Amino acid sequence: MRGLRRALTPKEKIDRTAYDLFTRHGIHSVGVDTIVARSGVGKMTLYRHYASKDQLALAFLERRWAVFSRGWQSAVEELGLRPRQALLAIFDVLDKWYRSPGYAGCPVVKAFLESSESDDEVGAGALRYFSMVRGYLRKLAAHAGVRDPDGIAMQWHILVWGSIIGACAKDRDAARRAKEMAAAILAREEGPASRRHRIKRQRR
């Protein structure tokens, strides 16, 4: 019938429940038993879809990238700013996130910090996630005509990490402080050669 929503499959229930719990509480602090109880799906059914909790965590990281990270990228792009302005607007988008009632930090950062080894499955998955974030930042930096896109991407990523932790520590203005530092980096980076290169790119 028109207007009726289809029932979720067991896998969709698992994915949705895990996404919500991992986002709110972190990957390592949420056990399989909790996911089973909240989703209403049997443990054997969960293990038919995911051989281990690590596999479920990796699926979460992929979904987090698709849902959240592409969401804030779209929010920046929808502003219609030039790449140089967009680099700074990232922190405006983060500021809204940090001030939202449900802000509980970044589950990917938590997952990486809680991993016993950076080369275990979850830690490696978090590193891939970070690499994709830096790839987006590098693209913006390259389009902005900066002299060292890789360096700017790394600096921006450090500022994002720092502001995430700052917001968790109840600094409501963490993103705004990070934006001030980012603006100072761009101002210092913009020498005559960089300015000529940027203007040339904008005229194309």
pLDDT digits (tens, 9 = 90+) for 58-90: 999 999 988 877 788 788 888 778 889 999 999
| 170 located within any domain | yes
CATH number for the domain that contains residue 17: 1.10.10.60
Whether residues 72 and 42 share a domain: the answer is: no
Cα–Cα distance measured from residue 172 to residue 175, given in angstroms and rounded to the nearest whole number: 8
Distance between the two ends of the chain, CA-based, in angstroms?
Answer: 53
Q: 3-state class of 102 per DSSP?
A: coil
Name the residue range of residue 23's domain.
Answer: 8-51
Cα–Cα distance measured from residue 180 to residue 41, given in angstroms and rounded to the nearest whole number: 47
pLDDT digits (tens, 9 = 90+) for 1-12: 455 567 889 999
Cα–Cα distance measured from residue 163 to residue 49, given in angstroms and rounded to the nearest whole number: 36
Q: Are 175 and 94 in contact (CB under 8 A)?
A: yes
